[in-house]
Amino acid sequence: MVATLVLELFSYTLIHPSFHMEHAPSYPTVPPRKYMEPPPSCHPILSDGYEIRPSLVAMVRASTFSGRRDECPYTHLQEFEENCSLLIIPGMNQDTLRWKLFPFSLTERAKIWYYRTAVRVGGDWIQLKDEFCLFFFPVPKVIPRRIQLLTFEQGDNESLGAAWARFMHLATSGPPHNIDEEMLVQHFIYGLNPESEHFLNLASEGSIMYKTVAEVRTVLEKVLNST
């Protein structure tokens, strides 16, 4: 009798497909992924229409910032703003363009920070990038960086060119250090090994320590181009 009942139910399902659909188990639907559009910039767009090329977005996404400890927000901003300068849209302020593209340059922890901060700053690009640098390069990291500049030393087996490049990276890849340029150059020379300093003295036809900043840069450029 049970076999007859199952056979009748199977036959009914074939004849009436809607019976199977009505009694099929239901599964929860996956909610659509919500994209959070950046809030509007505080600078009005004076153009009726504009286009941000996908190639520029791809260029921005090629150099992302995630918020890791070994990443520098100042270096990221410098490269990001250089990329943005490649495009000029009539009627759109450059700060507005940066505001619109900036979230494409962020990932992971930095993207979470952006979502929490963008609405609060009211479309102000300057305030956004200031808070970005302060959050990912807090004040306690500023003093150690100044100490690195003032106690710079040329490394063992490090060439003069490599030492100069490393020193300039320290000087330009962080927040304003408020150290006079003449003092910076002096500390760089103090940190050189005797051989490199002697080489610069020969190239400057005297003591390199008594040269102006412009003269030191000229001598360095001459020496580095000849080696």
Write out pLDDT tens, residues 206-218. Answer: 888 888 989 999 9
Choice between 200 and 33, residue whose per-residue pLDDT is larger: 200
Encoded tokens for 156: 């063992």
pTM for the full predicted model: 0.62
In this structure, are residues 105 and 61 in contact, taking their beta carbons and an 8 Å threshold? yes
| Residue 44 DSSP class | P
Encoded tokens for 126: 């300057």
In this structure, are residues 114 and 121 in contact, taking their beta carbons and an 8 Å threshold? no
pLDDT for position 3: 45
- Amino acid found at 79: E
Choice between 36 and 43, residue whose per-residue pLDDT is larger: 43
Model confidence at 132, pLDDT cuts 50, 70, 90, reads: very high
pLDDT digits (tens, 9 = 90+) for 150-204: 999 999 999 999 999 999 888 887 777 778 888 989 999 999 999 999 989 988 8
| Cα distance from N-terminal residue to C-terminal residue, the chain | 100
CA dist 189 and 183 (Å) reads 10
pLDDT for position 9: 42
CA dist 42 and 107 (Å) reads 24
pLDDT digits (tens, 9 = 90+) for 59-107: 999 999 999 988 989 999 999 999 999 888 888 889 999 999 999 999 9
Region of poorest pLDDT, from 11-25, 27-41, 128-142 = 11-25
pLDDT for position 44: 67
Model confidence at 18, pLDDT cuts 50, 70, 90, reads: very low
Going by C-beta distance under 8 Å and a sequence separation of 6 or more, which residues neighbour residue 50?
Answer: 89, 90, 91, 92
Domain ranges within the chain, ordered by starting residue: 54-137, 141-226
Question: What does the pLDDT average to over 129-133?
Answer: 93
pLDDT for position 53: 83
